[in-house]
Chains A and B, each alone.
Chain A
Amino acid sequence: MPTAGRSPRAVLLRRILLPLTVIAGLVIVWDLTIRALAVPAYMVPAPAAVARALVKERAMLLDNAIPTILESLGGFALGNLVAIAAALAFVHNKMLERALYPVAVAVRTLPIVAIAPILVLLLGNGYAPKVAIAALITFFPTLVNMVEGLESADVQAMELMHVLSASPSEIVRYVRWPSSLPYLFSAMRIASTSSVLGALVAEWIGTNKGLGYLIVLTTYDFRTALLYAAMVVTSALALLFFFLVSILESLLVRWER
Chain B
Amino acid sequence: MAPVEIACHDVSMAFATGAQPVQALAGVDLEVERGDFVSLLGPSGCGKSTLLRLIADVLQPTSGSIEVRGGTAMRARLAREFGFVFQHPGLLLWRTARANVSLPLEVGGWGRHHDPPHQPDDLLALVGLKGFEDAYPRQLSGGMQQRVSIARALVTGPPILLMDEPFGALDEITRDHLNQELLRIWAATGTTILFVTHSIPEAVYLSNRVFVFTPRPGRVLSQVRIDLPSPREPSVKDTPEFVKHTAALRRALAQGG
Q: Which residues from A are CB-within-8-Å of B195?
A: none
- Separation of A220 and B90 alpha carbons in the complex (Å): 61
- Separation of A253 and B89 alpha carbons in the complex (Å): 21
Stretch at the interface among A87-95, A124-132, A155-163: A155-163
| A-B interface contact total, Cβ < 8 Å | 63
Q: Is the interface of A mostly helix, strand, loop or mixed?
A: helix
Interface centre among B53, B90, B104 (most CB of A within 10 A): B90
Stretch at the interface among A13-21, A30-38, A42-50, A166-174: A166-174
- Separation of A155 and B164 alpha carbons in the complex (Å): 14
B78-A160 in contact (CB<8A): no
B107: which of A154, A170, A254 is its contact (CB, 8 Å)? A170
Interface size (A, Cβ < 8 Å)?
A: 22
Give the Cβ gap from B112 to chain A, nearest Cβ, in Å: 14
- Separation of A254 and B104 alpha carbons in the complex (Å): 23
In this complex, what residue of A is CB-closest to B74? Answer: A165
Give the Cβ gap from A9 to chain B, nearest Cβ, in Å: 26
A190 at the B interface (CB under 8 A): no
Interface centre among A160, A161, A178, A181 (most CB of B within 10 A): A160
B106 at the A interface (CB under 8 A): yes
B234 at the A interface (CB under 8 A): no
- Separation of A95 and B110 alpha carbons in the complex (Å): 33
In this complex, what residue of A is CB-closest to B82? Answer: A163
B108 at the A interface (CB under 8 A): yes
B103-A174 in contact (CB<8A): yes
In this complex, what residue of B is CB-closest to A167? Answer: B108
B80 at the A interface (CB under 8 A): yes
B138-A255 in contact (CB<8A): yes
B69 at the A interface (CB under 8 A): no
For residues 81 through 100 of chain B, which have their beta carbon under 8 Å from a beta carbon of chain A?
82, 84, 86-94
Q: Which residues from A are CB-within-8-Å of B136?
A: 254-255
5 residue pairs A–B, Cβ–Cβ below 8 Å = A156-B88, A159-B84, A164-B103, A165-B108, A174-B107
A159-B90 in contact (CB<8A): yes
B80-A156 in contact (CB<8A): no
A164: which of B86, B91, B93, B107 is its contact (CB, 8 Å)? B107
Q: Which residues from B are CB-within-8-Å of A163?
A: 56-58, 77, 82, 84
- Separation of A162 and B84 alpha carbons in the complex (Å): 11
Q: Which residues from A are CB-within-8-Å of B138?
A: 255
In this complex, what residue of B is CB-closest to A162? Answer: B58
10 further A-B contacts with Cβ under 8 Å, apart from A170-B107, A256-B93, are A156-B89, A156-B90, A159-B84, A161-B107, A164-B110, A174-B103, A175-B92, A178-B93, A253-B94, A255-B94
Give the Cβ gap from A155 to chain B, nearest Cβ, in Å: 8
A255-B93 in contact (CB<8A): yes
In this complex, what residue of B is CB-closest to A161? Answer: B107
Binding site for A on B (CB under 8 A): 53, 56-58, 77-78, 80, 82, 84, 86-94, 103-104, 106-108, 110, 136-138
A159-B107 in contact (CB<8A): no
Give the Cβ gap from B45 to chain A, nearest Cβ, in Å: 18
- Separation of A129 and B56 alpha carbons in the complex (Å): 54
B58-A157 in contact (CB<8A): no
Q: Which residues from B are CB-within-8-Å of A254?
A: 94, 136
B108-A178 in contact (CB<8A): no
Q: Which residues from B are CB-within-8-Å of A162?
A: 58
Q: Which residues from A are CB-within-8-Å of B82?
A: 163
A165-B78 in contact (CB<8A): yes
In this complex, what residue of B is CB-closest to A252? Answer: B94
For residues 163 through 198 of chain A, which have their beta carbon under 8 Å from a beta carbon of chain B?
163-167, 170, 174-175, 178, 181
Give the Cβ gap from B55 to chain A, nearest Cβ, in Å: 11
Q: Which residues from B are CB-within-8-Å of A255?
A: 93-94, 136-138
Q: Which residues from B are CB-within-8-Å of A175?
A: 92
B92: which of A166, A174, A253 is its contact (CB, 8 Å)? A174
In this complex, what residue of B is CB-closest to A164? Answer: B107
B92-A164 in contact (CB<8A): no
Q: Which residues from B are CB-within-8-Å of A160?
A: 84, 86, 90, 103
B108-A159 in contact (CB<8A): no
- Separation of A156 and B168 alpha carbons in the complex (Å): 15
- Separation of A163 and B90 alpha carbons in the complex (Å): 13
A170-B103 in contact (CB<8A): no
Q: Which residues from A are CB-within-8-Å of B93?
A: 178, 255-256
In this complex, what residue of A is CB-closest to B137? Answer: A255
Q: Which residues from A are CB-within-8-Å of B58?
A: 159, 162-163
Q: Which residues from B are CB-within-8-Å of A165?
A: 77-78, 80, 107-108
B108-A164 in contact (CB<8A): yes
